[in-house]
Structure 1
Amino acid sequence: MLYGTPSLQAADKTVLAEIEDMRQDLKYRLAETHRWDGQLRRQLQARAIQGSNSIEGYRASVEDIQSIMSGEEPLEASASVTKAIAGYQQALTYIGLLSRAPAFRYDVGVLNALNFMMIGHHRHKTPGVIRPGSIWVRDSFSGEVVYEGPDVEHVPGLLDELVTWLNEGDLEVPSYVRAAMAHFNLVSIHPWRDGNGRMSRALQTLVLGRDQIMTPEFSSIEEWLGEQRITIDYYDVLGAVQKRQWRPHGDTLDWLRFCLRAHHMQAQRVGRRLAEAGEIWTLLEEQVDADGLNTRCVSALYEAFVSSRLRRSRYQADEDLSQGQAARDLRDLAVKGWLQPYGETKGRYYQAGPRMAEVKTEFADRVTPLRDPYR
């Protein structure tokens, strides 16, 4: 028996309707091709990876995560963090493919494979294989047991039940609701020795992707969950609804509302970024033209605007340039005061120069607070 899907109340239906309105708006805006689309998607995926892994203690900058995503050595992330990030990116990439696959059914093999991708570098944790015994989740500060998973002999049957539900259960329920319950049930079953939280958040993204709720980069709430104050709320609501051990019941409305709020807040944030992207790109185009620089330099300036660090190799790949062309462009941008170089050879990177800092400050001052849909 799994945790049941709660009945929606009027407030929840209102929030769902608002999320759907924002989704449709994003869908229409994404239907048009823009020069900044690729960088925006890469940023969103990197932030999702950062959020989900930071919850588990694997912390890396968005810039290092983008380097790992492109197969480069990160400048700051440790070897263990780099492996965790690379594994999670591989799993998310597969989820992206599965979201668009014409023929697909959930099965335990897929879940085990995703777990192996995420933690395959920890062979001693038997990645992709059901845990051999009991499992407890402890408070990282006090060491107190805050949750005990179901007995191991029940885990295979519970996974089979979850897979059956994913394929056939509650199909009339809104996708955001099904995705939230998939997340909750998998993290509560806690079927593996490690990676259960990351797997559950990734499964939520896959359920939405299969229901064509845009692409995973735009539908994931992992970035939102990774913020420190939200992470605390995330664990609090999990603990309150789970009640310390596996005991399926239908009183999961608080969990569902937490997830709907997260989707609403993240959708507001992504919508704002998408709207600003066009404005920022146009402004930078005007500045590049006025300085007599090649139009392609806007790509480097946009990256410097949305990131704290730009590497030559990323700009080179984005614009399909030779190493010499990319290096000259970045040197010219530094001379004009747009970028500031740091480091040497492979460790060289660029940050915002004085002129870019002025632009970033102007936009930072214009940010308005996000609206909590339940208040």
Structure 2
Amino acid sequence: MGAVMYATPELEPADKAVLGEIEDMRRDLRYRLAEPHRWDGQLRRQLQARAIQGSNSIEGYRASVEDIESIMLGEEPLETSRAVASEIAGYQQALTYVRHLASARSFAYDRGLLNALNFMMIGHHHDKSPGIVRPGGIYVRDSATGEVVYEGPDAEEVPGLLDELVAWLNGGDLDAPAYVRAAMAHLNLVKIHPWRDGNGRMSRALQTLVLGRDQITTPEFCSIEEWLGEGRTTYDYYDVLGEVGRRRWGPHDETLPWVRFCLRAHHMQAQRVRRRLAEAGEVWTLLEEQVDAEGLNTRCVSALYQVFVSRRLRRSSYQADESLSQGQAARDLRELAARDWLTPYGETKGRFYAPGPRMERVKADFAARTAPLRDPYRSAL
């Protein structure tokens, strides 16, 4: 099968050491997540929003985490354009399906599933044949220069290549670590480039699905899409795809640089998620103590936690999170604003609450404690 698809590489001792650390962190995460906490729902939602933000920003569709959370809750975003909101909503729908598929008892990869996920992502682009294999050639261009940096395989080859990929997903290299198989699924799908649009996002979502099916942890906790969408990492992502994938479809077995890039990303993101999980418990406990000391209803902690992890809170999301009436939610938020925990902005549908002076001090205190993440390969290589 290696002659048809890009081949899974043999790991070197340094890669195995990094992989071992990743697996240790993921097992720890799974253990911590086994016990339910009040903040779990908000943390999961934010992680999914950050994954959506990362994957879409790579394609040039930029939106704030806060607006993405609003879209996820069925609300109108405050800043994001309608066109970008459509991209976000489509990707969120696909990732939600990935989350369900990760735990489905009866499951197998097939070409129809991949086409369906593509349709969910770009179904609003009727002119791009969503969910249908492209009828002609495809060229990836450098957005700055217009130069063709990659040419996909001929359209006639694509159905057969997708069948090969599906067969591999169901039965190929099953003894390889899940992180390695997920990376290779990403590489092969993005290089086949089977659709007219959405190929990069599809490949990143497939990587997340492969990991989710391995039951390491839930998709929002194992995705590296947030990490890939940040600053210099996005350029590194394109660079390594170009280095390993070259300028035309041409499978080979020199794929270790790509797998190594993905392992580094998993390690860095796992560090970050583990830190957020630990911080969530500490922050929630601190806010509970403050709310209790001030005689406020315990449910107010949910609103305060949201503005701790985010730049803003909307009444409707707090109302939904705590199953409140509109009046109850509005009264709670007014009270928190009166006590300088929140600062209100805007009116009617555009109204939102940002951190007030007291919350800003809490956020600054935690930010000052944050240590830089550790690059695992600096010591492993």
Q: TM-score normalised by the shorter chain: which range applies?
A: over 0.9
Q: Deviations over 1:58-83 (max 9, x none)?
A: 11110100110011111111011111
Within-5 A mapping of 1:62-77: 62-77=65-80
CA distance in 1, matches of 2:176, 2:244: 20
- Please provide the CA RMSD for this pair: 0.5
Aligned pairs, number: 375
CA distance in 1, matches of 2:137, 2:299: 56
Cα offset for 1:282? 0.6
Q: Deviations over 1:13-40 (max 9, x none)?
A: 0011000000111011111111100000
Pair 1:33-2:36 in alignment = yes
**Structure 2 counterpart SS, 1:365:** helix
Q: Deviations over 1:30-51 (max 9, x none)?
A: 1111110000000000000000
CA distance in 1, matches of 2:328, 2:349: 16
1:352 match = 355
CA distance in 2, matches of 1:200, 1:107: 15
Which of the residues 364, 369, 373 maps onto 1:370?
373
Q: Deviations over 1:149-207 (max 9, x none)?
A: 01111111100000000001000000000000000000000000000000000000000
**Structure 2 counterpart SS, 1:147:** strand
1:268 match = 271
CA distance in 2, matches of 1:144, 1:109: 33
**Structure 1 counterpart SS, 2:316:** helix
CA distance in 2, matches of 1:357, 1:151: 55
CA distance in 2, matches of 1:52, 1:330: 33
2:176 match = 173
**Structure 1 counterpart SS, 2:297:** coil
Within-5 A mapping of 1:279-290: 279-290=282-293
- Identity within the alignment, %: 78
Unmatched 5+ stretches in structure 2: none
**Structure 1 counterpart SS, 2:257:** helix
CA distance in 2, matches of 1:351, 1:117: 33
Pair 1:55-2:58 in alignment = yes
Cα offset for 1:290? 1.5
Q: Deviations over 1:115-174 (max 9, x none)?
A: 000000001000001111111100110111111101111111100000000001000000
Cα offset for 1:289? 1.3
Retained in 1: the 8 A contact 2:30–2:216? no
CA distance in 2, matches of 1:32, 1:127: 40
Within-5 A mapping of 1:199-214: 199-214=202-217
Retained in 1: the 8 A contact 2:27–2:216? no
Which of the residues 113, 116, 119 maps onto 1:113?
116
TM-score in terms of structure 1 length: 0.99
Within-5 A mapping of 1:1-375: 1-375=4-378
Moved over 4 A (4+): none
CA distance in 2, matches of 1:214, 1:303: 23
CA distance in 1, matches of 2:318, 2:247: 49
CA distance in 2, matches of 1:271, 1:366: 15
CA distance in 1, matches of 2:144, 2:346: 38
TM-score in terms of structure 2 length: 0.98
CA distance in 2, matches of 1:93, 1:306: 22
CA distance in 2, matches of 1:231, 1:253: 19
CA distance in 2, matches of 1:357, 1:197: 37
